[in-house]
Amino acid sequence: MPFTFDPGEGAVSPEAIANPPVFDRLRSAAIHEGIVRDLVHGLKYRDRTDLAPMMAEWMIRAGDGAVAAADMIVPVPLHAFRLWRRKFNQAAELARFVAKHSARTYRPDVLRRTKRTSRQVGLGARAREANVRGAFSVPEGLRREVAGKRIVLVDDVYTTGATVTAAARALKRAGAGDVTVLTFAMAVSGPI
């Protein structure tokens, strides 16, 4: 969770200490409110893919060196049916520009969404976890390419962490050495 001040190198949030995540670190460019929410919704629901390059630049800066150290940039995938309905994956658009602007390798193929899930909007934390449990996998033929690698996993918004946790778990099972989650926005409840 965000700090209200810069606590210095190596600081870990109380939430991460109490409930250690599957991934190694999480970085978000902004809090999901006001204009930031408008940008996310513009990209995700109004086909404003022209916003992705600017959003990616913010994400790279928020990554605090994780992008520069990454072996590959991997988007959280959509299920094929949802991709067909939406026509594009907002996480893939962000990841593509993060990779392009940082000269890192873009790998949308190493993580697949194998289970069709319900929309996460409106679900509580436990329901979100159950919804995405087992939803992701690394194809058998690509496990060697993931093993030991430093991966930046990109999504648009971090809400409860259920989606990126399930995705990171699949990458870790395939042998990923380090998984940094990078999102454009983080939803927080209450004051920061």
Dihedral of CA 97/100/101/106: which sign? positive
Residue 61 has pLDDT above 90, yes or no: yes
Q: Is the pLDDT of residue 66 over 80?
A: yes
Tell me the average pLDDT across 168-187. 96
Report percent pLDDT > 70 for the chain: 86
Say what the pLDDT of residue 93 is.
96
- Does 22 score more than 70 pLDDT? yes
Q: In this model, does residue 116 exceed pLDDT 90?
A: no
CATH of 20-116+131-186, one of 3.40.50.2300, 3.90.1150.10, 2.40.160.40, 3.40.50.2020: 3.40.50.2020
- pLDDT of 9 reads 72
Per-residue model confidence (pLDDT) at position 161:
87
- In DSSP notation, 34-54 reads HHHHHHHHHHHHS--GGGHHH
- pLDDT over threshold 70, residue 47: yes
Residue 113, classed as helix, strand or coil, is strand
**61-75 mean pLDDT:** 96
CA–CA dist 76, 95 (Å, integer): 9
pTM for the whole structure: 0.88
- Could you tell me the two tokens for 55? 């959003």
- What's the confidence (pLDDT) of residue 120? 59
Tell me the pLDDT of the chain averaged across its residues.
88
Mean pLDDT confidence for 66-76:
97
Where residue 110 falls among pLDDT bands split at 50, 70, 90?
very high
pLDDT band at 114 (very low <50, low <70, confident <90, very high): confident
34 pLDDT above the threshold of 70? yes
> How is residue 49 written in tokens?
């893919």
| Domain positions in the chain | 20-116+131-186
Neighbours of 27 (CB within 10 A): 20
Helix ranges (H only) for the chain are 14-18, 34-45, 52-62, 66-69, 80-86, 90-102, 125-132, 143-146, 162-173
